[in-house]
Amino acid sequence: MKALLLVAHGSRRKQSNDEVVLLADKLRKNCSQQYNIVNAAFLELAEVLIPDGIKQCIDAGASSITVLPYFLNSGRHVVEDIPNILNDCIALYPEIDISLAPHLGASSLMMDLLMASAETAKSL
Amino acid sequence: MKALLLVAHGSRRKQSNDEVVLLADKLRKNCSQQYNIVNAAFLELAEVLIPDGIKQCIDAGASSITVLPYFLNSGRHVVEDIPNILNDCIALYPEIDISLAPHLGASSLMMDLLMASAETAKSL
């Protein structure tokens, strides 16, 4: 079984974390053909944290987990912190295939998204 | 003349700020039909700050400025800080039409971007 784990930074503001969980719910509906399991996890400040998110996917039967960082830039969190945490998970669960997607700013679709978003701007 | 101002949070890590400036460069090339001026600005920690970014657009001849927040969630920065700064700018330049786009997570294209990004994941 294949899992997708959407990983956001986590915020002290509950509403921001809820947005990430809602986005994972939406992803689950949209990519049920590609992924049997879709969950959200957080780097810090919110639950579930990444190691628990990985464990939840495995407990639900995942043999491969794609981690999708919900980050715009290639900052320290994306380049160091998330890979380090995932490498610890790989040491714990060597039989699970864990892969990591790039930060969202690297996507070729970001330009389309930015231009579409600009078109929905409202006067202040 | 129309301007587009891409506004990111700003980071202590120069490379993250450089990514935003490069993205604005790319936007400039891609939407020269819609916008005569495309610049980047930052909420904090990096230059130029938003008021200076607005002033640069006006000095370059902009009569309307679309502010595009490079933020994923509707956190305090998007909901309060950026509108407050822009309202101060409107008080300074009442003749300029300043509009604000939603955070990127609100875009209907985000689902496509997330799914495309997941497909480019690499094993750790």
pLDDT single digits (tens) B28-84: 999 999 999 999 999 999 999 999 999 999 999 999 999 999 999 888 899 999 999
Contact: B72, A104; criterion CB under 8 Å: yes
Contact A67 B121 (CB under 8 A): yes
Q: Which of residues 48-87 of A touch B (CB under 8 A)?
A: 66-68, 70-76, 83, 86-87
Query: What is the model's pLDDT at position A75?
Result: 84
- Pair of tokens at residue A97: 């295939």
- Assigned token pair, A60: 């639900």
- Residue B16 falls inside a structural domain: yes
Q: Is residue B108 part of a domain?
A: yes
**A68/B15 touch (CB, cutoff 8 Å), yes or no:** no
Range of the domain at B110: 2-119
Q: Give pLDDT, residue A107.
A: 94
pLDDT at A41: 98
- pLDDT tens over chain A, length 124 residues: 999 999 999 988 899 999 999 999 999 999 999 999 999 999 999 999 999 999 999 999 999 999 999 999 888 899 999 999 999 999 999 999 999 999 999 999 999 999 999 999 999 8
Q: Tell me the CB-side half-sphere exposure of residue B109, using CA atoms within 13 A.
A: 19
- The pLDDT of residue A74 is 85
Contacts of A120 in chain B (CB under 8 A): 101-102, 107
Contacts of A33 (CB under 8 A, 6+ apart): none
- Which tokens go with B123? 């094993």
pLDDT at A13: 87
Q: How many other C-beta atoms lie within 10 A of the C-beta of residue B75?
A: 18
Q: Any CB–CB contact under 8 A between A96 and chain B?
A: no
Average pLDDT, chain B: 96
For chain B, what is the domain count? 1
A29 assigned to some structural domain: yes
Residue B124, in any domain of the structure:
no
Residue B92: predicted pLDDT: 98
Q: What is the CATH number of the domain that holds B19?
A: 3.40.50.1400
Chain B residues whose CB is inside 8 A of the A33 CB are none
Report the distance separating Cα B113 and Cα B91, nearest Å. Answer: 37
Domain assignment of residue B86, yes or no:
yes
Chain B positions in Cβ-Cβ contact with residue A85 (cut-off 8 Å) = none
The amino acid that residue B22 corresponds to is L
**ipTM, 2 decimals?**
0.94
Q: How confident is the model at residue B5 (pLDDT cuts 50, 70, 90)?
A: very high
B122 touches chain A (CB under 8 A): yes
pLDDT at B32: 92
Q: Tell me phi and psi for residue A116, to 5 degrees.
A: -65, -40
Q: Is residue A123 part of a domain?
A: no
A40: left (phi over 0), alpha (psi -120 to 50) or beta: beta
Q: Rounded to a whole number, what is the distance in Å from the CA of B52 to chain A's nearest CA? A: 18
pLDDT of residue B13: 87
- The pTM (predicted TM-score) of the whole model is 0.91
Strand order across the beta sheet in which B97-100 lies: A122-123, B97-100, B64-69, B2-8, B37-42
Cβ contacts (< 8 Å) between A66 and chain B: which residues?
118, 121
Give, in degrees to the nearest 5, the angle at Cα B70 between B67 and B71: 120
Please give the pLDDT value at position A115: 96
